[in-house]
Amino acid sequence: MNTPDPTPSAAAVHRLLRIDGAGVADARGLLAAPGTLLFRLDDAAPPHAGRAFWHARATLLAAGAPADIDRALRTLTRADGHTPDLVRIDARDRLLVPGLVNAHAHLDLSHIPPVEHPPGAGFAPFARVVIAGRAQDEPGVAASARRGIDLSLAGGVVAVGDVAGPVRGRPTLTPALEMLRAGLWGRSYIEFFARGTPDEERQRTDALGEWFDAALAEWTRAGGEAPSPLHAPARLGLGISPHATYSVSRRGYGWALRRARRSGLALMTHLAEHADERRFIASGDGPVREFYEALSAWHDGRAWDVGDGRSPVAWLTEVLRGGDIAAAHVNDCDDADLQTLAETGARVLYCPRSSAYFRNHEVFGPHRYRDMLRAGVTVALGTDSLINLPAAHPGSAARLTPLDDARLLLARDGDAGGVDPVELLAMLTTRGARALALDERAFGFGEHRSEIERRSESERRSAGVTAIALTGSGDPLRAAFAGDGAPELLLLGK
């Protein structure tokens, strides 16, 4: 049994929560089967209509076999002379795992239903769907983000790396504020575009800098944690997202890097996502150039620094070397690119269903996430937007969760490809937290007792617990990933 806490006194215990499951697992693997978790809850809100989970500041007390938790509870009672307030959840038909991390999502596009993508259509038709369908005012953005949040919670997700797209060309804090109100963990990356003449780009980044000054003040007034270059956010933080190599110049990336360093903001970009991006960066032509020409926004390729044969990763190398950057997708990755990712410490946010939707494997070959992991690159799983997630199986339309992406990888790549449920669970929890620059200890169930008892209470804070219904018998970890059992959030930490 893992016992992260010396036995607390009754005066310190506001409420205990015991969750019994078919097993307990985290990024280290299956810890116990059957398994039980024990938490102390402070500032707790019980389940109620519209929110079927506990929401509390949760401190992990113990994780292990049910008999071990029984002994811990008896010891607690004997030490204090009475029985503490104990709430029990029976999830013995499900696997208990830490709350899941969706490392890459677009919550503000959650009002747009899934759209089929014709083979060979390229990225431009999809971009037109996004541009035409995006909410055009703050109330619409808020409603869409709330729907995405509700679908995320329904999918057992407690942390999201969200991209907050601009509204009528202006940055917005609205998705971040909705995440804050909902109690989610994660990052809200404020997205911007900056391709044009040097003067045009300077005007855009100057305006964006002024907006960030005001937005950070609004964020802290709303109860958000003030960004700091000295430490990661306790729960939910802000970030900057230069959209992509074909929509932001290197000057724009440089501005974002400097601003992120100065303000303690995380940095994320879309990188090497599709063939149109590769063609534009390497050759300076194709659908992306045609898009800019249609807007009368195209300038000489040399001014845009494209067309010299480089890959998107190679084009961005100096920026990657200069900062701690999360890169969404990276479907296009040759050996030199892989080495660059490993050397620069870039973190990859892989969205398997999105990649399959655009048939990127037909152009670039299988995604190299396994090679990335072997090279020491942090790889986390994301969903991308609802638009590119046609229902894969019953129930998937009622949730937004990277668990369904992990299941795709296990079914497609399997053991023969070196993919196992333990690796996938790490990509859904601790590696997701690391990719978003969160404290990954909140996305696990502790270490060995001799090590954990020395940790402070803040180090034992839990982001939450998700229960996954099992399909079949045997190893509950494999049964949870191999089937299509629904996830359910049982506890969301504060």
Rg (CA), the chain: 23
Asked whether the CA dihedral 38, 44, 46, 49 is positive or negative, the reply is negative
Closest CA to 257 of 210, 306, 320, 311: 320
Residue 218 has pLDDT above 70, yes or no: yes
Q: Indicate the pLDDT class of residue 72, thresholds 50, 70 and 90.
A: confident
Residues 6 or more apart whose CB falls under 8 angstroms from that of 205 comprise: 192, 194, 251, 252, 255
Q: How distant is the alpha carbon of residue 240 from its chain centre?
A: 15
Residue 453 has pLDDT above 50, yes or no: no
Per-residue model confidence as pLDDT tens digits over 321-348 = 998 899 999 999 999 999 999 999 999 9
What the block records as the tokens of 401 is 């969760």
Three-class SS state of 186: strand
Average pLDDT of the residues of the chain: 90
Helices (H), 365-442: 369-374, 403-412, 421-428, 430-435
Q: Which residues of 135-157 are buried (b: 16+ CB within 10 A; e: fewer)?
A: beeeeebbbbbbbbbbbbbbbbb
Per-residue model confidence as pLDDT tens digits over 33-65 = 999 999 999 999 999 877 899 999 999 999 999
Gap between the Cα atoms of 480 and 467, Å rounded? 9
Residues 432, 159 contacting (CB under 8 angstroms): yes
The pLDDT value recorded for residue 1 is: 53
What the block records as the tokens of 159 is 């942390």
Q: What is the mean pLDDT of residues 369-381?
A: 97
Residue 3 has pLDDT above 70, yes or no: no
Q: Indicate the pLDDT class of residue 297, thresholds 50, 70 and 90.
A: confident
Residue 455 has pLDDT above 60, yes or no: no
DSSP string of 242-268, one letter each residue: E-BTTTB-HHHHHHHHHHHHHHT-EEE
Residues 144, 108 contacting (CB under 8 angstroms): yes
The pLDDT value recorded for residue 449 is: 38
Q: What is the mean pLDDT of residues 429-451?
A: 82
Give φ, ψ of 487 to 5 degrees. Answer: -85, 155
Helices (H), 117-173: 124-133, 138-154
Q: What is the mean pLDDT of residues 1-7?
A: 45
Q: Which residue matches tokens 């070397």?
A: 321
Asked whether the CA dihedral 123, 129, 130, 131 is positive or negative, the reply is positive
Asked whether the CA dihedral 379, 385, 388, 394 is positive or negative, the reply is positive
The pLDDT value recorded for residue 386 is: 93
- What residues form DSSP beta bridges with 126? none
Q: What is the mean pLDDT of residues 260-269?
A: 93
Per-residue model confidence as pLDDT tens digits over 140-167 = 999 999 999 999 999 999 999 999 999 9
Three-class SS state of 239: strand
Gap between the Cα atoms of 264 and 187, Å rounded? 12
Q: What is the mean pLDDT of residues 123-151?
A: 93
What the block records as the tokens of 62 is 């113990």
What the block records as the tokens of 197 is 């003449």
Residues 486, 469 contacting (CB under 8 angstroms): yes
Closest CA to 427 of 447, 391, 448, 401: 401
Q: What is the mean pLDDT of residues 351-360?
A: 95
The pLDDT value recorded for residue 451 is: 30
Gap between the Cα atoms of 181 and 190, Å rounded? 18
- Cis peptide bond upstream of 34, omega within 30: yes
Give φ, ψ of 153 to 5 degrees. Answer: -60, -35
Residue 450 has pLDDT above 70, yes or no: no
Q: What is the largest CA-CA distance in the chain?
A: 80
What the block records as the tokens of 268 is 């994320």
- What residues form DSSP beta bridges with 408? none
Gap between the Cα atoms of 18 and 67, Å rounded? 12
Name the burial class of residue 346, with classes exposed (0-12), middle (13-18) and buried (19+) by CB atoms within 10 angstroms of its CB: buried
Name the burial class of residue 24, with classes exposed (0-12), middle (13-18) and buried (19+) by CB atoms within 10 angstroms of its CB: buried
Listed range (64-68, 172-176, 376-380) with the worst mean pLDDT: 64-68
